Amino acid sequence: MNLIPTAIADVIICEPRVHGDHRGFFMETWRESSFATIAPGLRFVQDNHSKSGKGILRGLHYQLQQPQGKLVRVIAGEIFDVAVDMRRRSPTFGRWVGVTLSADNHRQLWVPPGFAHGFLVTSDSAEMVYKCTDYYAPQDEHSLLWNDPALGIDWPLAGPGMPEPVLSAKDRDGRLFIDAVAYDDR
């Protein structure tokens, strides 16, 4: 697996070796020994599978008491995946990274615990699967406002056929970054 650094050192693009021919392809999507070099001491406890239509924007979500690291990949379609550093003592606190993940590029994104996570579907539909280092705890979930000017996330919303983002009530009512609880506030 090729590990590609991003503007935030702890967020890593994982690019698997894809072996293909006229019959299709094979790739290894996760190996415990390789993952241990990226996130020593962490293990995955839950796998999730999500399907969404074009223009669906989910996030930016994070948990404080049960922070989740996520290894995200797309198995159909394309998304713009975003991680926001919510670790107050981090030199990159409040900064974000966005990466296009698709079934075609086979890339995965490692989003460590301590980050808010969200995505926008840029294809007609997209299916993503992601491994989590802790269990989903709805009572512990927090949401940042996806379009907070203080974050300045450059969501790919312009262009032909790209609708206004479709949001849940929770995401529409997310907190501004300045009012959000960060990891070191606990």
Tell me the HSE value of 31 on the side-chain side, using a 13 A CA sphere: 11
> Can you tell me whether residue 106 is helix, strand or coil?
coil
Active site (annotated) includes residue 62: no
Q: How far apart are CA 131 and CA 111, in angstroms?
A: 10
Q: How far apart are CA 51 and CA 44, in angstroms?
A: 21
Q: How far apart are CA 140 and CA 66, in angstroms?
A: 7
Residue with tokens 């796998």: 47
Q: How far apart are CA 39 and CA 113, in angstroms?
A: 10
What are the φ/ψ torsions at residue 10 (nearest 5 degrees)?
-80, -15
- Catalytic residue chosen out of the listed positions 62, 106, 130, 183: 130
Active site (annotated) includes residue 136: no
Q: How many CB atoms neighbour CB 88 within 10 A?
A: 14
- Catalytic residue chosen out of the listed positions 61, 62, 106, 117: 61
Active site residues: 61, 130
